[in-house]
Structure 1
Amino acid sequence: MSGRSDTRADAGADTLRGDCANCFGLCCVALPFAASADFAVDKPAGTPCANLAADFRCGIHERLRDRGFTGCTVYDCFGAGQKVSMITFGGRDWRQDPDTARRMFAAFPVVRHLHELLTYLTEALTVEPARSLHGELRRVLEETERLTLLTPEELTALDLDAHRRIVGDLLLRVGELVRAGVPGAKGRKKNRRGADLMGARLTGTDLRGASLRGAYLIGADLSGADLRQADLLGADLRDAKLAGADLTGALFLTQPQLNAARGDARTVLPARLTRPSHWTPES
């Protein structure tokens, strides 16, 4: 494993963001993608992407969008790649043997889902209005972390849906506690959970404290919208216009969601997130 020190591997495994230097390119191999607006070609699960180099780096990383691989630029494994590569499989390369590859590719999506849940739980523990739930949040977080350390066989046998329901119900309570402190947020118009808002014109809309969990906001125009303390868990923000929108304190917003959206220099983001490099300086 040339260029991969134990120290760097251990450090990377402790994060909830992808550390490609300590991963065997799992997202480029284990996952499938279909030719579409997001991917230039079809690729079945378990087959290496043609752009994956021998050192597990992307050969067109700086040109992904130009080459038709926008989907790659919005993806984040939440640190599951280095966890599976360096801890679950102890640094064993999937190229060494077909059985290792099969087991690794099956375990990776499970750990990725668990790491996404860890990301939400970690954020929830910083939410002051949900302080009464912090003890329960810590217990569920510790259990989720324990699950990420199961053997490959245990991971693939895990009832992931059952655990997601436990975490989801707890995060819903966190969101309700936050919404309860936002004036008018519990009104009927602010509950848009799972709503079909694809292409909707919501320019300048007051969505402060709104529940937008699982809402379909693909291509929606949210320019200048007030999304402070809005619950965005699982909201689909692909190509949503966020120019000038205020996302201060937005709950459960992830970097992949932001990467898939379209904002500008005026978009106000939570401090824990990074402004995507492909966003326009000004809309």
Structure 2
Amino acid sequence: MTAAPAPQRRQDLRADCGSCFALCCTAFGFSRSVDFAEDKPAGAPCRHLGSEFSCTVHAGLRSRGFRGCTVFDCFGAGQAVSQRLFSGISWRERPDLQQRMFAAFKVMKQLHEMLWYLLEAQARTYDPDAAHEARDLASVITALTRGGLPELLTVDMDALHSDVRAVLVDTSEEVRASYFAENGRLDKGLGPGADLVGKNLRARRLCGADLRGACLIAADLRESDLTAVDLLGADLRDARLEGADLSAALYVTQPQINAARGSGKTRLPTGISAPEHWHSR
């Protein structure tokens, strides 16, 4: 069987909430915290979910204590499951489909997120063989997203994550290689998985740094240059990005930016938008 072609644009991985049965408001659970004002068990609809699958408090989510909802992004998995995999039949119409639909959404979100990263790897690598590898892997994943439910629910996610990670890391090393001279001037504490909570990195030239999986909660990155900085999985909650240049940073996602603090002067990668709360500060 020939693999289906992978999405050619990141716009193909954008959430279309109007075509989704509020799967993010149902499939996932959350506990009361600074990001959520109350508890909600996984698989149960949020009590603020309306009859037409819309949020009845959407306009005031952050002020009501649901900041976590404004950060979330499904990378277009919601509409893929709702419309393509389940043919537009909602879990309210068919309660017997509920658990399978929610399980499919959790897998589909991960697959779509992998595609988001692989599209960038294809575009950023200078090596034709590496681009070919990323493209082939993206095609395999796309075929899974467009296949049937049994196939989707039996995907070996650990193996797939491992394959994707290898491609992303190799591309990162290649892209960042041009900036290794700068790394000698960086703090020794900057590296994959670094604890940089509240760290003052303001107005720094961080080009080529590997901050994959780093904890940058409330870090001050104002006016800093993050060109070719690997931010795969980095925690940017409340990070200060006003005036920072992330336009050529590696592996940035919309949820990361939604969780951060920025302004109209923050430069973002193509395909990433400044969240509404940046403009209302």
**TM-score (norm. length: structure 1):** 0.90
Answering whether residue 34 of structure 2 is matched by residue 44 of structure 1, we say no
- Shift, 1:131, TM fit: 4.0
Per-residue CA deviation, residues 163-198 of structure 1 (Å, 9 max, x unaligned), is 011001101111111111225255485861111111
- Shift, 1:267, TM fit: 1.3
Aligned to 1:118: 115
Question: Structure with the greater relative contact order (CA < 8 A, sep ≥ 6): 1 or 2?
Answer: 2
For the aligned residues, what is the CA RMSD?
A: 1.8
Q: Which of the residues 68, 75, 80 maps onto 2:72?
A: 75
Where do residues 13-162 of structure 1 align in structure 2 (5 Å cutoff)? Answer: 15-162=12-159
Separation (CA, whole Å) in 2 of partners of 1:148 and 1:248: 29
In structure 2, relative to structure 1, the CA distance for the partners of 1:130 and 1:243 (3 Å cut) is farther
Report the AA paired with residue 26 of structure 1. Answer: L
Instruction: For structure 2, list consecutive stretches of 5 or more residues without a partner in the other structure.
Output: 1-10
- Which range is displaced more, 201-210 or 169-178? 201-210
In structure 2, relative to structure 1, the CA distance for the partners of 1:78 and 1:279 (3 Å cut) is same
Where do residues 224-243 of structure 1 align in structure 2 (5 Å cutoff)? Answer: 224-243=223-242
Separation (CA, whole Å) in 2 of partners of 1:209 and 1:25: 39
Aligned to 1:270: 269
Aligned-residue identity in percent:
50
Separation (CA, whole Å) in 1 of partners of 2:127 and 2:70: 33
Report the AA paired with residue 231 of structure 1. Answer: D
Confirm or deny: 8 A CA contact 2:125 2:174 kept in the other structure: no
Aligned to 1:255: 254
SS in 1 for 2:179: coil
Separation (CA, whole Å) in 2 of partners of 1:158 and 1:77: 18
Instruction: For structure 1, list consecutive stretches of 5 or more residues without a partner in the other structure.
Output: 1-13
Report the AA paired with residue 154 of structure 2. Answer: A
Aligned to 2:219: 220
Answering whether residue 151 of structure 2 is matched by residue 175 of structure 1, we say no
Confirm or deny: 8 A CA contact 1:133 1:174 kept in the other structure: yes
Confirm or deny: 8 A CA contact 2:125 2:171 kept in the other structure: no
- Shift, 1:122, TM fit: 1.1
Separation (CA, whole Å) in 1 of partners of 2:34 and 2:146: 36
